[in-house]
Structure 1
Amino acid sequence: MLDLCLLGTSGMMPLPGRALTALMARFGGSSLLIDCGEGTQVAIRERGWSFHPIDTICFTHYHGDHISGLPGLLLSMGNAERKEPVTLIGPRGLQKVVESLLVIAQGLPFELQYIELTDKEQDLECNGYHLHAFRVNHNVTCYGYTIEIPRGGRFFPERAKEQGIPVQYWNRLQHGETVESPEGIYTPDMVLGAPRKGLKVTYCTDTRPTAGLTKNASMSDLLICEGMYGDKEKKAKAVENKHMMFLEAAQMAKEAEVKELWLTHYSPSLLYPQNYMREVCKIFPNAVAGKDGMSCTLEFED
């Protein structure tokens, strides 16, 4: 079970009722944050969630509307008596950027660990999440992220019994561990079926449409994607500043065959995103104009 909350949907600057960009995910007692716009810790509080269990914070890029909330969030986490390390992930230069911001947030009671992305695509394992970072097309180095929760095969106790595997090893085998024991070597494939479908969420802001985004979002349960502009007249501006139109995001969702699309990262000039959804849904029917605090729970298929 994966909980998701779109904490903020505004790009460039916050507006009344529209906070800056951030997404929070919860799985297995661990929380992960992607982007941290100004006031993110307030948005977390308003949602009724806690920032104490945030173990990992990912950044798409280092424009202010995606990272300016970090000092305040880390201070709030410290004041909530967090002691465990926090892992920060982002493009090259991450540590330098964060240490500059921390001039106003010194004396944190926990360690910060840095993972700087250097490849065009990169895989990471974090607290049960499989993260795949992939570079997109913005006017600075910028990454999208795919969050995957893998799911192993079904455990068959009858197979274990038939092969005389002692019960004390079943749990370890069920969790994918090979067991070496006095009785012999037992491997997970002896008691598990084929891997089952897991969960997949793709998050991307600040980019033009790219083949890499379509590929990495393929078959996602949810694509959360930038929709900077709805007006067709804004297309030239979107191309110039390397942002995405509503209709372009819908086309990418269609090509990637995702289950659902949430639009986010709206221009401050776009006051009523819902006004453009009729045309969006003609291209991709299962599309939603994201709102601050929008949340969902994704569950494994039976």
Structure 2
Amino acid sequence: MIDVTLLGTGGSIPLPDRYLSSAIIEYKGRKILMDAGEGTGVSMRAVRSGFKSLDVICITHLHGDHVIGLQGILGTTSNTGRTEPITIIGPKGIKDVMKGFRVIMPWLNYDINIIEDPTPGEPIVINNKYIHGELSISALPVKHTRPNFAYRVDLKREPKFDPQKAKANEVPQRIWGDLQRGQKPVEYEGKTYTPDMVLGEARKGMRVSWVTDTRPTPEIPGFIEGSDLLLSCANFGSNDDTEKAKNKMHMTFAEAATQAKKGHVKEMVLTHFSQAMRDPEKYVKNATDIFPNTVIGKDHMHFTLNYDQAFAEPTMIEEKEDTKENN
């Protein structure tokens, strides 16, 4: 199960009812943050997501509405008493940004592992038992006014154990568990047994994709292919604003929907709305006419993804005062 919460759905300028575009992905109590614009930390407190279990922060690009809130988040996380390292992934220049932040934040309780300009499409190696093992994060360069990445989080699903197959291959029952849990051969009584001797067919896992501040590109549909949830920027709702979108290097609702359709995703949530677009719902048909499973994102909207789920119904997290000290 993966939980996804929208922390903000605005672009460029935060509004009283709309923080800047950001989301948090949670798996087994550990968290991955997508972007960190101004106010992201406040929104994290509002939804009680917690800071201490934040392991990875993925920064798409170095515009202020995606990175300015990073300093406050790291400071708050340090105040929880966290001592485990945090990994920050971002485009070229993210190391310089962090050097600047450390001038006013030299006292963190934990180390920061910075992965700058990751190799496109390849899983990023992160020293965390869940993210390095069960989860993987990949990045794809996209088309904006400065270097920018889309991100994808994959949860792999191990094949089911097949006792009939194990018996047919004459695998001793004593090592069934070792082969089911592991990925390496097991030596037993002079013979070598491999996991494929006890496991059935591969099963589809889960995929969440984060694509923001970009024009449509030929590579995006393949990168987001089959996503259970696609969080996509849609700065402009009206099809009449296509030229504006081209000039600003963003997407319209219709363009985002076309990318989702080509990528055969299950569900798309639109976000990163222009501050001039006060009512995104007004333009939703421009997306749903192309890709019906489109949701207009709202701050603090929450999705729970399960295996083989056809469609994740959004719920809203009610804001409450956060009284936890070490969240």
TM-score range, shorter chain: over 0.9
Give 2:162's match in structure 1, choosing from 134, 156, 160. 156
* 270-279 vs 115-124, greater mean Cα deviation: 115-124
**Superposition TM-score, scaled by structure 2 size:** 0.87
The aligned amino acid for 1:84 is E
Give 1:192's match in structure 2, choosing from 188, 199, 208. 199
- Which residue in 2 is equivalent to 1:223? 230
- Which residue in 2 is equivalent to 1:247? 254
Q: CA deviation at 1:27?
A: 1.1
CA distance in 2, matches of 1:125, 1:294: 30
Higher normalized strand content (fraction of residues): 1
Q: How many residues align?
A: 301
Where 1:149 maps in the other structure, the secondary structure is strand
CA distance in 2, matches of 1:54, 1:171: 32
Q: CA deviation at 1:101?
A: 2.0
Give 2:242's match in structure 1, choosing from 235, 238, 255. 235
- Which residue in 2 is equivalent to 1:178? 184
Q: 1:255 to 1:164 in 2, by over 3 A?
A: closer
Where 2:5 maps in the other structure, the secondary structure is strand
- Which residue in 1 is equivalent to 2:77? 77
Given that 2:89 and 2:118 are in contact with CA atoms closer than 8 Å, whether structure 1 keeps it comes out as no
1:115 corresponds to 2:96 = no
Q: Unaligned regions of 5+ residues in structure 2, if any?
A: 310-327
Given that 1:155 and 1:191 are in contact with CA atoms closer than 8 Å, whether structure 2 keeps it comes out as yes
CA distance in 1, matches of 2:214, 2:111: 32
Q: CA deviation at 1:157?
A: 3.1
Q: CA deviation at 1:190?
A: 0.8
What percentage of aligned pairs have identical amino acids?
Answer: 39
Following superposition of structure 1 onto structure 2, how do residues 80-95 of structure 1 map, counting pairs within 5 Å?
Answer: 80-95=80-95
Q: CA deviation at 1:25?
A: 0.7
1:25 corresponds to 2:31 = no
Q: Please give the per-residue CA displacement for 1:17-46, whole angstroms capped at 9, x wherever unaligned.
A: 111121111113321111111121221121
CA distance in 1, matches of 2:188, 2:140: 45
CA RMSD of aligned residues (A): 1.6
1:264 corresponds to 2:271 = yes
Where 1:177 maps in the other structure, the secondary structure is coil
Given that 1:178 and 1:185 are in contact with CA atoms closer than 8 Å, whether structure 2 keeps it comes out as no
**Superposition TM-score, scaled by structure 1 size:** 0.94
Where 1:122 maps in the other structure, the secondary structure is coil
Q: CA deviation at 1:292?
A: 0.6
* 176-185 vs 42-51, greater mean Cα deviation: 176-185
1:142 corresponds to 2:148 = yes
- Which residue in 2 is equivalent to 1:66? 66
CA distance in 1, matches of 2:264, 2:188: 49
